[in-house]
């Protein structure tokens, strides 16, 4: 079945009231509702605003020294310009409302890490520095990931982050699988059909989304690694979410909701949009269960993802706690085999592992294309195997750029 990213436009009004909302184009045909899945929706506003961490209270805080990360010298404005443009016809906002300048500007929260966003003929492309637009309170994380190569006990731990260079491509037209667990995933996690290394999506503030579980089958809460916003910092000094960042001190909250459906909060790299958590039993679609991948379709909205709150049990002591899981959950619903150069080339990945090595999963065969720090040389997106797919069309007129950033289209800077 085919679906389009036009779903995003149907909820712009729910996202940020002060921002202008584009007139939606023709509504896409709704996708068939998924079969009854294992995750009934649990409306909840539970969050960690008043806590040191979203980790269970049974977690003990380590005393390891904090890592100190050098400034990587990212110059994303230069990187974007150096990519150049290609001859193509920019996707029409009439068919893909997310592709209009106004829609892009109103979707990607400001201030944020997003430096440029545009549609070419096939993809929504998002250039981001990967830094959150909210407080993190990383000092409250009980047991952050280790930042060194030796035993954890003698390693520094990650309580700070640095600017990143990340470029995501979201397919505008994509196919949905009947069963997302049938995707072929490089370096599959033990309990999820998602990769052990790297992102599965990106939030509207430009911060990556990672799977709910790690390569040990543990959630960020099981591992005692969660900050207040269900995130932590990896070995590469990159901040990323492993759960739903709902909270008044986090990325979004129910106070941002202005309509009858949760707001748009991000995009899966497989194509479907991600909408916020259900917080009441009266919101549109709340009675339509989520499938194995954490998504559903209802009314005029085609298939899309939602976070959900579930009761989890600690593997260490059997204590139960509320886990705010993010979606894609367990799998991608979109058919990733049809996305051109979805994965980094294995040659580039191995070069990074062998020469840079800032990854928790050196045994992974690859990860999705998004992290420009893993190019050779680092932070050069023109060296990616999907460089052509992330270039703007030279004739582009609709896009968003942050102050000081110029999109390389016909040598003309367009200010939105």
> At 314, is the pLDDT very low, low, confident or very high (cuts 50, 70, 90)?
confident
Domain boundaries, position 117: 1-416
pLDDT at residue 361 in the model: 82
Among 351, 109, 358, 356, CA closest to 253: 109
Give the tens place of pLDDT for each residue, 199-241: 999 999 999 999 999 878 889 999 999 999 999 999 999 999 9
pLDDT at residue 414 in the model: 43
pLDDT at residue 373 in the model: 93
Give the tens place of pLDDT for each residue, 66-80: 999 999 999 999 999
Looking at the DSSP bridge assignments, the partners of residue 119 are 124
Alpha helices (H) along 108-149: none
User: What global pTM score does this model have?
Assistant: 0.90
Separation CA 369–CA 167 (nearest Å): 8
For residue 18, pLDDT beyond 70: no
Which comes out higher in pLDDT, residue 321 or 389?
389
CB within 8 Å of 110: residues ≥ 6 apart: none
Residue with tokens 């990360």: 69
Q: 368 near 386, Cβ under 8 Å? A: no
DSSP labels, 155-222: S-B--------EEEEEESEEEB-S-GGGS--TTB-SSSBSBSSS-SEEETTS-EE--SB-TTS-BTTT
pLDDT at residue 76 in the model: 96
Looking at the DSSP bridge assignments, the partners of residue 86 are 393
> At 38, is the pLDDT very low, low, confident or very high (cuts 50, 70, 90)?
low
pLDDT at residue 5 in the model: 47
Among 176, 4, 168, CA closest to 97: 4
% of the chain residues with pLDDT over 90 = 77
Q: 343 near 200, Cβ under 8 Å? A: no
> At 57, is the pLDDT very low, low, confident or very high (cuts 50, 70, 90)?
confident
For residue 4, pLDDT beyond 50: no
Q: Any idea what DSSP says for residue 82?
A: H
pLDDT at residue 370 in the model: 98
Give the chain's length.
416
The total number of structural domains in the chain stands at 1
Residue with tokens 């420009």: 372
Separation CA 120–CA 97 (nearest Å): 13
DSSP labels, 274-293: EE----STTSTTTTS-B-TT
Mean pLDDT within 108-114: 86
CB atoms within 10 A of CB 80: 26
pLDDT at residue 110 in the model: 75
Among 214, 247, 209, 254, CA closest to 229: 247
Mean pLDDT within 248-263: 96
pLDDT at residue 358 in the model: 74
Which comes out higher in pLDDT, residue 362 or 253?
253
DSSP labels, 310-378: EEEE-TTT--EEEEEE-SS-SB-SB-GGGSTT-BPPHHHHHHHHHHT---S-TT-S--BTTBGGGSSST
């Amino acid at each position: 079945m085919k679906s389009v990213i036009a779903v995003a436009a149907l909820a712009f009004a729910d996202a940020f009231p002060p921002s202008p909302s584009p007139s939606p184009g023709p509504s896409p045909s709704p996708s068939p509702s998924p079969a009854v899945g294992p995750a009934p929706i649990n409306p909840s506003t539970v969050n960690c605003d008043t806590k040191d961490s979203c980790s269970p209270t049974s977690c003990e805080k380590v005393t390891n020294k904090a890592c100190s990360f050098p400034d990587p010298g990212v110059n994303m404005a230069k990187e974007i310009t150096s990519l150049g443009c290609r001859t193509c016809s920019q996707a029409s906002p009439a068919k893909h409302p997310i592709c209009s300048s106004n829609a892009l500007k109103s979707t990607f929260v400001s201030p944020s890490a997003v430096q440029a966003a545009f549609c070419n003929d096939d993809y929504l492309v998002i250039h981001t520095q990967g830094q959150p637009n909210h407080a993190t309170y990383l000092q409250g994380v009980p047991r952050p990931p280790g930042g060194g190569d030796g035993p954890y006990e003698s390693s520094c731990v990650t309580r700070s982050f640095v600017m990143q260079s990340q470029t995501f491509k979201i397919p505008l037209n994509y196919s949905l699988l009947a069963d997302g667990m049938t995707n072929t995933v490089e370096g599959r996690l033990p309990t999820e059909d998602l990769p052990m290394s790297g992102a599965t999506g990106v939030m509207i503030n430009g911060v990556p989304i990672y799977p709910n579980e790690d390569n040990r089958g543990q959630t960020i809460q099981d591992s005692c690694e969660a900050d207040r916003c269900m995130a932590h910092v990896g070995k590469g000094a990159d901040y990323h979410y492993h759960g739903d960042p709902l909270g008044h001190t986090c990325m979004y909250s129910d106070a941002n909701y202005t309509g009858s459906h949760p707001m748009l909060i991000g995009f899966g790299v497989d194509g479907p949009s991600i909408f916020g958590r259900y917080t009441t039993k009266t919101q549109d679609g709340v009675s339509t269960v989520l499938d194995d991948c954490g998504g559903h379709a209802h009314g005029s909205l085609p298939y899309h993802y939602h976070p959900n709150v579930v009761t989890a049990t600690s593997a260490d002591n059997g204590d139960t706690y509320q886990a705010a899981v993010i979606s894609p959950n367990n799998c991608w619903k979109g058919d990733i085999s049809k996305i051109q150069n979805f994965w980094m080339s294995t040659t580039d990945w191995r070069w990074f592992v062998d020469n840079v090595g800032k990854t928790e999963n050196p045994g992974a065969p690859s990860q999705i294309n998004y992290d420009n720090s893993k190019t050779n040389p680092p932070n050069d997106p023109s060296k990616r195997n999907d460089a052509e797919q992330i270039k703007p069309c030279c004739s582009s007129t609709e896009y968003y750029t942050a102050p000081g950033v110029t999109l390389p289209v016909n040598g003309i800077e367009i200010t939105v």
